[in-house]
């Protein structure tokens, strides 16, 4: 019986090639789009959840009140994790994690690579496979290093790296104690090597200050430990220990499940309640709707052709076929068509997967060697066929044979048919996506056009490495004297990134609450204003070379002056963790963090602070290539053991828009696919409508109707459906985008023209789709259409 059903299904598919092609194309594109999205969703939902002990792994977090708001953040003091292990028996092990960027060399091979400092407990907590070496000893001493497969290959080729020496920053020799399998693409961990925390102590980067929140603390709790009870116990640990050290704090400590940290990363009132999970939920909805729209095409075209299959149904019923058999037959046809579309979709996914990976910044793939991948794919195709064919199967099988065989059967054209509802649903979603896409792009452009407050043009920075810090004055002098740069300054972080912030500052008139104002911190020795191109509002720039007391000078931005309520800020004294600072100048607010966020209070501290970066403004009178070539020679002269590395500030600033631009590209892509699939179905319906009304069109032409009037007549019904869709989509899109925009401090207002543009765009596309068949029908020879009457 099944064989018979499939044979009939195949014959019907070949008999109606046009409609089969439209159905297969729509389903294939819809399935391919949904499959790509589901691959990304799977990647996100499995992020850091594959570890064997995942139900016992937690990340320590801080919570405190600042400027009247409760904040939460996941960087902690270095001393926290070992203290928790010592004081609380619930803690089985811990691993502190922080970034490490070093210059590695072996023989003639030299590589600048990023890695991580961590504790020996790393391999006890996480399930990352160690291909070579002993997990219990690999990070047990200050002179050991664990390499990833990729880095081991770069440094040693095919040779066994175990026990060999790797030199770090031309200063320390490390013995390779393990080879780690490369980190998968669904983990927060990255980098190409692991260094023991003992080495961090050796180079004096470790500290026991409870106010330095700079690393991540991962805890492995013992089986049976209840998170809520453990959190109550550890809540005041920072408060207790900082008070004992003479610098009392109000910061509370709590834990978050490590498996939840990736998806729930946005703190609201001190709790992680959202974040990437919102994007995952959104794309689940988008994938389902794209697939649903493709299925709606199948439903509409199948029911539209019902009159042509009505006689077949009548004859089968008279011959004794039960309704259940007819339902199985029609669903078999849809599943067969779905499997053909599924094979095409698989081909489309493989062709576009590389491009999609670049877009989402992941390495997604289909594991063809995994049986579950095949079973999931088959189930996905079968369910799609079942969804697409269910309504047509029940609809077609419900025909009454007496009416059908008498020729009295007509599907009719009621004002509210299921087919019209489905078309409205299709275009409602398509128009919603179009409106959202326009608003997202408008918001991105709004941020791009925002005045950053400093001059990014020809501004370059290099991180301190090797002897750059020691020879800074010589490098600066030669950059200026050679004409490579017009100004140079050193800072604690790049102008586009935050390395440090702090609170607890006091000044004349400050209240106890003012101690909880969080200030972003930068630093400079001299020429900060000139090099960065920021605007000096009052006072002067920091200049240690002409003002010896400027080692404790500080510049404030406008946001700081406002938060501190200073009427005459220049000359004011500010007391903080590094002693007393004197305000020498006020600079205009500039965008330091997100271009969509508010400008936070900022201090530019004098040389009494610390430095990690050299910024230099290239000479605009010379070409950039010549400037960089000359700069390389200067840096190599004073830092010969390291390659010259530089970053353009404008490129780093552009990175701030990457996430939003990715969202805009995805929205544009899926909005385009949605409207395309919807129009594909509309084209099929218009084709069938023109076939069904061919005699009516012939009569109208004989009676003198013009091509325009016939085209308008045939297009009007579809245009009405698009307008109804627009009216439904408008409030939905407005609500969704208003909610999305509320997360930005610097944002656009939703304007009326966005909705008008989306409506006109959709109407033009729909009319163009329908008009092709309408005009073709209107231009037909009425003699041919009426001759068979």
Q: What is the pLDDT of residues 500-538, one digit of tens each?
A: 888 889 999 899 889 889 999 999 999 999 999 999 999
Residue 657: the pLDDT is 87
Cβ contacts of 173 within 8 Å, gap of 6 or more: 143, 165, 166, 167
Tell me the C-alpha distance between 450 and 598, whole Å: 12
Residue among 45, 568, 488, 424 nearest 263 (CA)? 45
State the DSSP H helix or E strand holding residue 320, giving kind and residue range, or none if neither. Answer: none
From residue 533, how far is each of 495, 584, 619 by CA, in Å? Answer: 11, 18, 14
Q: Which residue has better confidence, 42 or 397?
A: 42
Mean pLDDT of 729-733: 94
Cα 177 to chain centroid, rounded: 36
Q: Are 260 and 273 in contact (CB under 8 A)?
A: no
Residue 82, SS3 per DSSP: helix
Tell me the C-alpha distance between 271 and 313, whole Å: 60
Residue 385: the pLDDT is 80
Phi-psi label, residue 546: left if phi above 0, alpha if psi -120 to 50, beta otherwise: alpha
Residue 269, SS3 per DSSP: coil
pLDDT in tens, 145-189: 999 999 999 999 989 999 999 999 867 899 999 999 999 989 999
Quickly list H helices, 305-369.
Answer: 306-318, 323-360
Other C-beta atoms within 10 Å of 402: how many?
12
Whole-number average pLDDT of the chain: 86
pLDDT in tens, 425-447: 888 988 998 999 899 889 988 98
* Beta pairing partners, 57: 220
Percentage of the chain surpassing pLDDT 70? Answer: 85
Task: Examine the pLDDT at 406 and tell me if it is beyond 80.
Answer: no
Beta-sheet strands, E only, within 246-303: 252-257, 266-268, 271-274
Tell me the C-alpha distance between 571 and 448, whole Å: 36
Residue 294: the pLDDT is 85
Task: Examine the pLDDT at 403 and tell me if it is beyond 60.
Answer: no
Q: Are 631 and 484 in contact (CB under 8 A)?
A: yes
Residue 789: the pLDDT is 47
Cβ contacts of 736 within 8 Å, gap of 6 or more: 432, 436
Residue 232, SS3 per DSSP: helix
Cα 185 to chain centroid, rounded: 14
From residue 264, how far is each of 234, 511, 656 by CA, in Å? Answer: 22, 35, 21
Its sign, for the CA torsion 523, 527, 533, 539, is positive
CA dihedral 763, 767, 769, 774 (to 10 degrees): 160
pLDDT in tens, 599-632: 999 999 999 988 999 999 999 999 999 999 999 9
Percentage of the chain surpassing pLDDT 90? Answer: 50
Tell me the C-alpha distance between 566 and 583, whole Å: 11
Residue 776: the pLDDT is 64
Token pair for 110: 């030299």
Tell me the C-alpha distance between 463 and 646, whole Å: 8
Cα angle for residues 299, 300, 306 (degrees, 5° grid): 90
Q: Are 524 and 537 in contact (CB under 8 A)?
A: no
- How sure is the predictor about 415, in pLDDT bands with cuts at 50, 70 and 90? low
Cβ contacts of 258 within 8 Å, gap of 6 or more: 48, 51, 54, 57, 58, 59, 218
Q: Which residue has better confidence, 573 or 785?
A: 573
Residue among 64, 63, 209 nearest 513 (CA)? 64
Q: How many residues does the chain have?
A: 789
Tell me the C-alpha distance between 627 and 529, whole Å: 21
Tell me the C-alpha distance between 687 and 308, whole Å: 14
Count Cβ atoms within 10 A of the Cβ of residue 710 and give its class: 0-12 exposed, 13-18 middle, 19 or more buried: buried
Tell me the C-alpha distance between 551 and 113, whole Å: 34
pLDDT in tens, 450-480: 999 999 999 999 999 889 999 999 999 999 9
- How sure is the predictor about 359, in pLDDT bands with cuts at 50, 70 and 90? confident
Mean pLDDT of 308-335: 66
Residue 777: the pLDDT is 62
- How sure is the predictor about 322, in pLDDT bands with cuts at 50, 70 and 90? low
Residue 389: the pLDDT is 72
Q: What share of the chain is helix, strand, coil (3-state, %, to 5)?
A: 50, 20, 30
Tell me the C-alpha distance between 640 and 634, whole Å: 10
Residue 172, SS3 per DSSP: strand
Tell me the C-alpha distance between 372 and 708, whole Å: 56
Residue among 90, 93, 97 nearest 124 (CA)? 93
Cβ contacts of 602 within 8 Å, gap of 6 or more: 519, 520, 521, 522, 556, 557, 559, 560, 592
């Amino acid at each position: 019986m099944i064989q018979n059903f499939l044979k009939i299904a195949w014959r019907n598919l070949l008999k109606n090639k046009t409609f089969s092609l439209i159905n297969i194309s729509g389903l294939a594109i819809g399935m391919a789009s949904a499959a790509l999205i589901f691959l990304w969703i799977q990647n996100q939902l499995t992020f850091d959840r594959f570890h064997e002990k995942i139900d016992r792994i937690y990340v320590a977090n801080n919570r405190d009140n600042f400027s009247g708001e409760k904040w939460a953040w996941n960087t902690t003091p270095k001393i926290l994790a070992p203290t928790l292990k010592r004081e609380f028996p619930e803690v089985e092990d811990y691993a502190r994690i922080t970034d490490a960027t070093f210059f590695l060399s072996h023989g003639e091979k030299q590589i600048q690579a990023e890695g991580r400092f961590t504790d020996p407990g790393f391999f006890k907590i996480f399930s990352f496979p160690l291909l070579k070496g002993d997990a219990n000893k690999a990070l047990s001493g200050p002179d050991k290093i664990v390499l990833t497969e990729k880095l081991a290959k770069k440094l040693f080729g095919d040779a066994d790296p175990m026990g060999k020496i790797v030199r770090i920053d031309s200063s320390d020799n490390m013995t390779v104690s393990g080879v780690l399998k490369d980190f998968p693409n669904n983990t927060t961990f990255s980098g190409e090597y692991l260094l023991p925390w003992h080495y961090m102590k050796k180079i004096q980067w470790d500290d026991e200050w409870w106010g330095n929140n700079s690393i991540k603390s991962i805890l492995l709790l013992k089986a049976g430990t209840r998170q809520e009870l453990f959190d109550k116990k550890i809540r005041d640990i920072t408060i207790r220990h900082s008070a004992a050290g003479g610098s009392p704090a109000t910061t509370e400590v709590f834990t978050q499940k490590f498996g939840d940290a990736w998806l729930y990363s946005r703190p609201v009132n001190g709790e992680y309640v959202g974040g990437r999970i919102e994007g995952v939920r959104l794309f689940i909805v988008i994938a389902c709707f794209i697939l649903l729209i493709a299925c709606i095409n199948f439903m509409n075209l199948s029911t539209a052709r019902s009159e042509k299959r009505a006689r077949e149904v009548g004859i089968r019923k008279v011959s004794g076929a039960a309704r259940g058999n007819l339902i199985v037959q029609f669903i078999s046809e849809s599943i067969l068509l779905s499997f053909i579309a599924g094979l095409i979709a698989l081909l489309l996914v493989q062709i576009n997967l590389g491009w999609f990976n670049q877009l989402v910044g992941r390495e997604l793939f289909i594991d063809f060697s995994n049986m579950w991948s095949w079973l999931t794919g088959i189930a996905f195709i079968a369910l799609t066929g079942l969804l697409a064919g269910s309504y047509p199967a029940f609809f077609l099988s419900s025909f009454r044979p007496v009416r059908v065989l008498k020729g009295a059967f007509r599907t009719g054209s009621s004002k509210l048919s299921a087919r019209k509802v489905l078309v409205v649903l299709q275009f409602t979603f398509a128009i919603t996506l179009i409106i959202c896409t326009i608003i997202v792009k408008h918001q991105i452009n709004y941020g791009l056009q925002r005045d950053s407050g400093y001059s990014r043009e020809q501004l370059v920075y290099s991180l301190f490495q090797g002897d750059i810090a020691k020879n800074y004055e010589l490098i600066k002098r030669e950059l200026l004297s050679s004409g490579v740069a017009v100004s140079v300054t050193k800072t604690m972080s790049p102008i586009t990134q935050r390395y440090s912030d702090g609170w607890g500052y006091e000044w004349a008139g400050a209240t106890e609450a003012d101690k909880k104002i969080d200030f972003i911190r930068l630093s400079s020795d001299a020429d900060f204003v000139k090099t960065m191109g920021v605007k000096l509002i009052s006072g002067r720039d920091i200049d240690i070379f002409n003002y010896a007391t400027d080692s404790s000078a500080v510049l404030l931005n406008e946001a700081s002056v406002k938060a501190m309520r200073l009427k005459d800020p220049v000359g004011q004294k500010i007391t903080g963790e590094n002693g007393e600072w004197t305000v020498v100048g006020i600079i205009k607010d500039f965008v330091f963090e997100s271009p969509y966020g508010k400008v936070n209070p900022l201090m530019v501290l004098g040389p009494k602070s610390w430095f990690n970066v050299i910024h230099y403004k290239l000479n605009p009178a010379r070409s950039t290539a010549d400037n960089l070539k000359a700069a390389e020679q200067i840096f190599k002269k004073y830092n010969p053991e390291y390659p010259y590395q530089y970053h353009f500030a404008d490129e780093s600033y552009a990175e701030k828009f990457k996430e939003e631009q990715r969202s805009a590209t995805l929205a544009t892509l899926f909005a385009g696919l949605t409207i395309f699939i919807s129009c594909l179905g509309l084209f099929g319906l218009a084709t069938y409508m023109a076939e069904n009304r061919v005699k009516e069109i012939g009569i109208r032409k004989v009676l003198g109707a013009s091509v325009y009037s016939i085209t308008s007549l045939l297009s009007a019904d579809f245009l009405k459906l698009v307008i109804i869709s627009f009216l439904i989509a408008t409030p939905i899109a407005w609500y969704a985008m208003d909610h999305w925009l509320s997360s930005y401090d610097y944002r656009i207002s939703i304007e009326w023209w966005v909705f008008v543009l989306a409506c006109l765009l959709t109407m033009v596309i729909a009319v163009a789709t329908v008009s092709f068949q309408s005009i073709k029908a209107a231009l037909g020879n009425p003699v041919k259409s009426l001759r068979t009457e």
